[in-house]
Structure 1
């Protein structure tokens, strides 16, 4: 079974590395998510452990697990993530997320946090984790067997930090990696979640549904970074973009339909009905809409891809084919040819609404290979991707400077 077979993750990561992609990203939920009757769990068994296995089978690609700040202590986080960073020779990242789901808190025997507590803990966890990473400085040196010295303890010191929610004495017991410390990613947030994005994030993995929404989110994140004393260039904004590829549009749609055959069509048709403003007959899901239906279509203003669904229906696609275009997906994307995929990425990138993309394949078995073999060469010919990696570490790939410890620009506020 692919879900429990780490070789599947290794093979996908190797394919992505062959295409020069910057990192592989493993989201996470710390509770059973979804109905397992017809499909495996939506999230991996345990991102840190799987990516440690991947680290030993790859050499260049970055490794980014999601790990919650709500349940993990800073010392454990600092130690585990630095170990991954050292094992991979400076390729680790950390998607730092505060949990919010009642099921997750129940699994840890904790009540849901009240008011500001979720973000208070996030601030403390990230600051203490980074301080621990900085507790073993480069000045401690490298082991010198001839001199009989492993490290200079004058540069390995406790941090002795105590917050309201978490604390740590330190120092950490693992030296820095080639990039210093892992790259911190965070998801887009609003209200109370904006300040930590501006203070700590090196990368934002976002879920805008449109180019304009992406532009707005990116600008908000940049303003938050500037308010924290950093610069807009300190953060890479990399939204999710999904793909299903085929030699033709029809082939790509048919492939997507096969992948979706095991999913109940009825609730998807009901959702598409809302998007189109029309009642859809399940018995006629393979037929284009009648002229009278098309004339009455109205996009749903609260559903971002509703206008796209209406446009596809007006072009004569059947409801099943409209769904196969990916209009129900939780992220923007394209089901079509490699050239069309490259066009979409180029359009977003050249519009300045993002700094790159987090690619969402529609099938882990072969979609990464198709993207690497068919889309990446087009992007390279257009000058949108380098011919090879620009360095050895994740910070090199993203054009970020080395960091060790808390960003000194934030020290006055920590």
Structure 2
């Protein structure tokens, strides 16, 4: 709502029991769908079970829910029809937050960062049939090291992909963007290959390698873009060059109130890291308390606008010692802490104003670091 993302937005939920699904559906209708009829909830079966050669369950890999959930949604959702060939499907992770709308148009040099080596072999600037886009991930061409015969078959086109092309066009990750036609074809192959990849590599990222193999099998080279996402403040291949252009004096306030028309921004923040500035300011998604949305719970204290100028180190709660940071990395950490703290506060404020009938606590008095038993401030 806040960033004005166009199109339908669907949360795909896998593996709920009947009573859990009913409760979630009721909550969704009461608190989410009232914001827009474009918001949807789609339930799928449990897909995360790992089976042996006999078909017996021997474990659980929750990331199977991504390819299988996508395919189930494309085949069964009421508002979804695969006859909408030209529409664009955007698949993001549940721990991604939008800084600005994601669209299929990457023609603006102001807001699009593509690595120099990919610029030399650029495929295009808009999502189209046969031309999917995705965020660059540091997967390289490692997917080519799997036993591709066992995964995709001895005659699979994956075996014709050169190492250079394998690293340029296929190490893709979310957000993924493709036309309905292409995304469905990928989903079919992805669900076929993911369990086979996991059998060879029963670890985190197995489903991502399976996506690479599915795309290569279909000959769907991806235009990989660095600037769709930011996550790891020390990583290359992300949209940090855009954030780096924001002046130090503006970085925290701009994080709290992002305005793409003022400074170009990446599309999403991926909350898969912990962020820290000094010893007083921190954000980690797994430490957000479950009661943050309750009427009487205070909101989080937000960093001051000059927080980036107050420290030259980070010292996360429970860390044994502080770590000196280069100014550029410190600035990125500050952006993330300021943005994510305000994001949670805004969400909690909206929910409380819509749902609380008693007195609402909107005081920003809860320090994130105080959630830890031991901290340094």
State TM-score, norm by structure 1.
0.24
Higher helix share: 1
Flag the structure with larger Rg.
1
Higher relative contact order (CA 8 A, sep 6+): 1
TM value normalised by structure 2: 0.26
